[in-house]
């Protein structure tokens, strides 16, 4: 476990996951309280994230970050709660920053715990049902998400909840999959509602795991910086 007294730092990081200042302040505190390698990993990982944002290049921090992960990652992950229906994903800037949630009911019942345990910015929601979607997709804890991958039927109330939710003001990447294990032609009217909605104001990258028509694709491309569909190369979350 982190040294006693870490909770205010973790709370501040979860509330402001895009702010590296508080992560680095936490690293300084860890240095002063007997956990220097965890402090070093946070600093190295934050700097790697900044370097990646500036463009790919050879980075000597990669090897050091890997060494620290090999030594400590299992222990760090063991501190996270074991929640049924939740899988903790990749490390981002020193902390687990991704969660895979089996269905939206789990998000409803455990959402606050998921998002206050570690600074989650990427969420994979494997199943979104109509009867709980409207509530689940309007949880305030989703407001810090940068990326969302979700399986949702475009003809469902869950789709309408997704594109009208007021909680996705920071979302940059969206991957939409169909719940059925087959590739379908997307409903043009449903996609036009997305293109013309006032939601998702910062969304830049949209991937649809469906076939889409050329006209509706052009309309989506006028709204979002990059649009891909089934068969295209796309940038995973």
**Per-residue pLDDT, 205:** 96
> What's the CA gap between 148 and 90, in Å, rounded?
14
Task: Confirm if 79 and 41 have CB atoms less than 8 A apart.
Answer: no
One pLDDT digit (tens) per residue for the chain, 237 residues: 888 999 999 999 999 999 999 999 999 999 999 999 999 999 999 988 776 655 555 566 678 888 999 999 999 999 999 999 999 999 999 999 999 999 999 999 999 999 999 999 999 999 888 778 888 999 999 999 999 999 988 888 889 999 999 999 999 999 998 887 666 677 899 999 999 998 899 999 999 988 899 999 999 999 999 999 988 987 777
All structural domains of the chain, each given as residue ranges with its CATH number in brackets, are: 7-78 (no CATH), 86-229 (3.80.10)
Residue 121 sits at the vertex; the CA angle it makes with 130 and 233, to the nearest 5 degrees, is: 80
Classify 32 as helix, strand or coil: helix
Residue 145 near residue 176, CB atoms below 8 Å: no
pLDDT reported for residue 58: 55
Q: What is residue 57's predicted lDDT score, i.e. its pLDDT?
A: 53
Which pLDDT score, from 0 to 100, does residue 117 have? Answer: 96
Distance from C-alpha of 25 to C-alpha of 97, rounded to nearest angstrom: 18
| Alpha-carbon distances of 138 from 54, 111, 132, 192, 222, rounded to whole Å | 33, 11, 10, 21, 26
Query: % helix / strand / coil in the chain, to the nearest 5?
Result: 45, 15, 40
> What is d(CA 72, CA 66) in angstroms, rounded to the nearest whole number?
10
Provide the 3-class DSSP secondary structure of residue 86: strand
Residue pair 152/179 in contact (Cβ under 8 Å)? The answer is yes
Helices and strands counted in the chain (H then E)? 9, 9
């Amino acid at each position: 476990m982190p040294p006693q007294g870490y909770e205010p730092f973790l709370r501040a990081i979860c509330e402001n996951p895009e702010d590296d200042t508080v992560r680095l302040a936490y690293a300084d505190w860890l240095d002063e309280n007997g956990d220097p390698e965890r402090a070093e990993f946070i600093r190295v990982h934050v700097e790697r994230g900044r370097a990646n944002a500036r463009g790919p290049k050879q980075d000597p921090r990669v090897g050091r970050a890997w060494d620290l992960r090999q030594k400590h990652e299992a222990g760090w992950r063991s501190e996270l709660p074991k929640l049924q229906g939740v899988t903790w994903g990749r490390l981002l800037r020193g902390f687990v920053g991704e969660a895979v949630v089996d269905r939206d009911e789990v998000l409803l019942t455990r959402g606050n715990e998921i998002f206050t345990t570690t600074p989650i910015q990427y969420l994979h929601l494997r199943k979104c049902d109509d009867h709980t979607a409207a509530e689940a997709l309007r949880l305030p804890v989703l407001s810090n998400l940068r990326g969302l991958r979700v399986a949702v039927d475009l003809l469902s109330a869950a789709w309408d909840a997704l594109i009208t939710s007021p909680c996705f003001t920071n979302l940059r990447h969206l991957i939409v999959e169909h719940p059925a294990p087959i590739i379908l032609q997307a409903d043009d009217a449903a996609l036009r509602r997305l293109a013309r909605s006032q939601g998702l104001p910062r969304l830049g990258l949209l991937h649809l795991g469906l076939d889409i028509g050329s006209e509706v694709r052009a309309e989506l491309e006028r709204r979002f910086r990059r649009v891909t569909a089934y068969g295209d190369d796309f940038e995973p979350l």
